Amino acid sequence: MCERSFDLKEYVLDCLGESCPESLVNTENRLKELEAGDVLIVQVDHMCAMKNLPDWARKKGYHVEIEEIDDGEWEIIIEKTN
């Protein structure tokens, strides 16, 4: 029998105070470092980033969820799929 060890990780990227495209560039660069299956939680407080980041990530084929954690602050949860 073959056993597989899954060492998937969760990372947090603090983009609070950053506007687009800075938060998008930082997210893209961080995702390049991650393995498929890893999760990146991007913290944003800029409405433009809250809209653009999920749209971009979905176009890349990543699974995306958005959670509002406070008034005007969101966590964009991106699972790297490839």
| Catalytically active residues, by annotation | 20
Contact 24, 59 (CB under 8 A): no
* Burial of residue 18 (number of CB atoms within 10 Å: 0-12, 13-18, 19+): buried
Alpha-carbon gap, residue 41 to 76, rounded angstroms: 6
Which position has the token pair 């799929």?
81
